Amino acid sequence: MKTKAAIIYKAGDPDAFRYKNIELRPPGKDELLIKHTAIGVNYLDTYYRSGLYPVDFPVIVGDEGVGIVEQTGKNVTEFNVGDRIAYPASKCGGYAERRLITASEVVPAPSSIPDEIIAASLLRGMTVEYLVQRLYQIKEGDTILVHAAAGGVGLILCQWAKYLGATVIGTVSSEAKADIAEKHGCDHPIIYTEMDFVEELKTFTNGQLVDVVYDGVGKKTFMKSLDCLRPRGLMVSFGNASGKPEPFDVLELAKKGSLFLTRPTLFEYAHKRSELLAGAKSYFELLEKNVIQVRPGKVFKLSEANKAHQYLENRDKIGAPVLIPD
């Protein structure tokens, strides 16, 4: 079977994509053939495309999507032809009209949630789930700092943390983004382009600092984020939107108060089938209850994957872009 895909043959800028036909074999015994209805676009995809994260070329990036099952392998019993499914962390293969995927990587998609909402947010939502419920269990009375609070992960993180009882401080780049973050659970947005976020945070917390910093920005915020943590606080560096952090002396963690540091990934926190299903279920339930509200970004055709990456990397838009097969 032939299908269309956006392929990268060599690491580069967004124009590295080539939109071509590829041949798909029948599904293996534990696989599904799915037809995408919507495909998520994430910063992780840009890391593979640019060469920041090593990957074998040629490659079809894309870790997140929604679709309909068209064929099942002979050992698959959990899903049937016609089922609506989604996946949040497949590690490449998503930027295609159709794809093969192992059935254990897929979760049922609730009919109550639109395709574009799931495609724009499932990976982000499940990332937040493990960040606030398993890596660190946010509890009533905690104070946290969320970088890029008006971004795709940030808006979900602010809402979920507020729901769990935390006081949420967030960094944003503009007054408009501060207003959006505040409407989504951020108690105190800091416009980092106009003020020093460390000093503003110290003022807001009366010098008590925060229990956890959630940093998906990376290089530009990493070191100053350590100065925002109370003694024995936790630094969660989960993304590199501004580039990966510079190497640093681990003794800095001791000097700044016996701090904890972790660099987690959703792949590790959804590695077990039970964890994948539970994480998706938790996120979908909060969407259905309107505890978390998601607004997708611009919708692009699959053949416009380059434009979707440009949109994402500009970092001046609200909402994650979505690809729809042509």
> What's the rounded mean pLDDT across residues 286-298?
93
Q: Does residue 171 surpass a pLDDT of 80? A: yes
Confidence (pLDDT) at 43: 83
Confidence (pLDDT) at 267: 86
CATH topology of domain 2-121+289-324: Quinone Oxidoreductase; Chain A, domain 1 (3.90.180)
Confidence (pLDDT) at 71: 98
Label residues 72-96 b or e (16+ Cβ within 10 Å = b): bbeebeebeeebbbbbbbbebbbbb
Question: Over the chain, what is the mean pLDDT?
Answer: 95
Tokens of 182: 């505040």
Sign of CA dihedral 216, 159, 301, 277: positive
In angstroms, the Cα distances linking 191 to 110, 170, 182, 238 are 37, 9, 12, 21
96: DSSP letter: B
CA–CA gap between residue 319 and residue 195 (Å, rounded): 25
CA–CA gap between residue 3 and residue 22 (Å, rounded): 5
Confidence (pLDDT) at 316: 66
| Same-fold call for 2-121+289-324 versus 140-264 | no
**Start-to-end Cα distance in the chain:** 17
Sequence length of the chain is 326
pLDDT tens digit string along 180-237? 999 999 999 999 999 999 999 999 999 999 999 999 998 999 999 999 999 999 999 9
Q: Does residue 3 surpass a pLDDT of 80? A: yes
Give bridge partners of residue 22 from the DSSP assignment: 3
What lies within 8 Å, CB to CB, of 192 at 6+ separation is: 171, 172, 173
pLDDT tens digit string along 54-74? 999 999 999 999 999 999 999
Listed by start position, the domains of the chain span: 2-121+289-324, 140-264
CA–CA gap between residue 44 and residue 64 (Å, rounded): 11
Q: Does residue 294 surpass a pLDDT of 80? A: yes
Cut 0.85: pTM above it: yes
256: DSSP letter: T
Confidence (pLDDT) at 315: 67
CA–CA gap between residue 215 and residue 222 (Å, rounded): 7
Question: C-alpha angle with apex 185: 136 to 207, nearest 5 degrees?
Answer: 65
Q: Between helices 43-50 and 305-314, what is the axis angle to 10°?
A: 110
> What's the rounded mean pLDDT across residues 258-279?
94
Instruction: For the chain, give the percent of residues with pLDDT over 90.
Output: 88
pLDDT band at 42 (very low <50, low <70, confident <90, very high): confident
pLDDT tens digit string along 74-94? 999 999 999 999 999 888 999
CA–CA gap between residue 6 and residue 191 (Å, rounded): 37
**Higher local confidence (pLDDT), 278 or 53:** 278
From its phi and psi, is residue 79 left (phi > 0), alpha (psi between -120 and 50) or beta?
beta
Q: Does residue 312 surpass a pLDDT of 90? A: no
List, in sequence order, every beta strand (DSSP E) within the chain. 2-8, 17-23, 31-40, 65-72, 84-87, 98-102, 107-108, 143-146, 167-172, 188-191, 210-215, 229-237, 260-262, 299-301, 322-324
Q: Does residue 251 surpass a pLDDT of 70? A: yes
pLDDT tens digit string along 16-34? 999 999 999 999 999 999 9
> What's the rounded mean pLDDT across residues 236-243?
88
pLDDT tens digit string along 93-139? 999 999 999 999 999 999 999 999 999 999 999 999 999 999 999 99
| The domain over range 140-264 is classified in CATH as 3.30.590.10 | no
CA–CA gap between residue 232 and residue 102 (Å, rounded): 41
pLDDT band at 319 (very low <50, low <70, confident <90, very high): confident
Confidence (pLDDT) at 28: 97
